[in-house]
Amino acid sequence: MNAPVHTRCSIVPPYLLSRLAGLEDPRHHNAAAAARRALVQLDPIHSARATAPRDPSRGAGTAVVLALRRTISDAYGTETLPGEAVRREGDPPVGDVAVDEAYDGLGATYGLFQEVYGRSSIDDAGLPLDATVHYGQRYDNAFWDGFRMVFGDGDGEIFGRFTASLTVIGHELAHGFTQYTSNLRYQGQSGALNESVSDVFGVLVEQRVRGESADTAGWLVGEGIFTDQVQGRALRSLKAPGTAHDDDVLGKDPQPATMADYVETTSDNGGVHINSGIPNHAFYIAATRLGGYAWERAGQIWYDAATGGNVPEDCTFSRFADVTVDAAKARFGEGSPEVEAVGYAWREVDVL
């Protein structure tokens, strides 16, 4: 199989970076400069990776190690990857908060996939999990580049360090999960589904660590990465798309919750970070209708859908909805509460 061209998937949407890059207020000089640097890395010429594997890369006769293996590296403010390895699997905390948060976040994400869904790492073949922290100078993003997770420290005015949010860590690593399963094309509705799958498993990682039920969870993506100067709690909300932030500098969260407000745009790869609010909200509705821990039933259905081989790379919302309904039927039975909840959720967001 030929390895696909892979676009760098980042947590901060380009429309937010563009807004920050245009700031002329001297109070936000650092944020504007940081956003301009981050935008350069989103340009396809600079950000597309030549190749990224879909199948585990192993030499002939190489044994598969089905155990958690983490390596956290420090870029020391450069943009050279991977940087210097500073904490490996089994090492004690090093006292650098970003290093230790990344290490713990990788472990929590691995734990969700392995302990709940029986998957050995994101590729189901024990892929080592690597991350780099302290990337760039005041770098306003975190991304999965097809091989590793990379975290900036933020500009200090709008964004703080990106390892501070467990949902960001889970989200970015889940892009790797999608890479090794459906490999959803990062454009239009399939790209919005790619982002949504990452949001879904990102919030599930956090909810499981916190022991939160579907009814008590916050359902926020990126909570904790804004400074106290920002009027807003997070980048996105699965519970109420469009309400995560409303700030004079950042603007208002533009995500729609239903197809009635679907955004037709050529920017952001066809609105992948904006329209992901629709499938995100469908998951939230299904999970809260079922109640209990969202990772147990709703999450299992989404996992089954993603790994079942029925999600094409150019998947639409309606096709994905059908696949999740079928996955619910296969696991829980025709006419089960799970099937009813999933169908109801997609109808509520006007997809079915």
CATH number at residue 129: 3.10.170.10
User: Residue 1: its pLDDT value, please?
Assistant: 35
Instruction: Give the pLDDT band (50/70/90) at residue 61.
Output: very low
Residue 1 included in any domain: no
279: number of Cβ within 10 Å? 27
Instruction: Give the pLDDT band (50/70/90) at residue 8.
Output: low
User: Residue 88: its pLDDT value, please?
Assistant: 98
pLDDT above 90 for 223: yes
Say if residue 96 is in the same domain as residue 233: no
Question: pLDDT tens, 88-146?
Answer: 999 999 999 999 999 999 999 999 999 999 999 999 999 999 999 999 999 999 999 88
Terminal-to-terminal C-alpha distance of the chain: 34
CATH number at residue 298: 1.10.390.10
pLDDT above 60 for 50: no
Cα diameter, the chain: 60
Catalytic residue numbers, as ranges: 172, 273
CB 147 within 8 A of CB 132: no
CB 222 within 8 A of CB 153: no
Is the backbone peptide bond immediately before 82 cis, with ω within 30 degrees of 0?
yes
User: Residue 225: its pLDDT value, please?
Assistant: 95
pLDDT above 50 for 261: yes
Per-residue pLDDT averaged across 16-34, rounded? Answer: 84
pLDDT above 80 for 153: yes
Question: pLDDT tens, 157-168?
Answer: 999 999 999 999
Range in 8-17, 67-76, 166-175, 255-264 with the lowest mean pLDDT:
8-17
Q: What is the mean pLDDT of the chain?
A: 91
User: Residue 65: its pLDDT value, please?
Assistant: 56
Say if residue 163 is in the same domain as residue 266: no
256 Cβ contact list (under 8 Å, min separation 6): 241, 242, 262, 263, 274, 275, 277, 278
Residue 350's nearest CA partner among 303, 309, 326, 317 is 317
User: Residue 53: its pLDDT value, please?
Assistant: 56
Say if residue 208 is in the same domain as residue 64: no
Say if residue 32 is in the same domain as residue 108: yes
User: Residue 19: its pLDDT value, please?
Assistant: 86
CB 29 within 8 A of CB 251: no
CA atoms within 13 A on the CB side of 125: 13
Q: How many domains does the chain have?
A: 2
Q: What is the pTM of this model?
A: 0.91
Last residue of a domain, one of 124, 158, 179: 179
Percent residues over pLDDT 90 in the chain: 78
Last residue of a domain, one of 158, 179, 200: 179
Is the Cα torsion angle 13, 42, 185, 316 positive or negative in sign? positive
CB 48 within 8 A of CB 7: yes
User: Residue 107: its pLDDT value, please?
Assistant: 98
Residue 20's nearest CA partner among 172, 154, 151 is 154
Q: Could you tell me the residue range of the domain that residue 165 belongs to?
A: 6-179
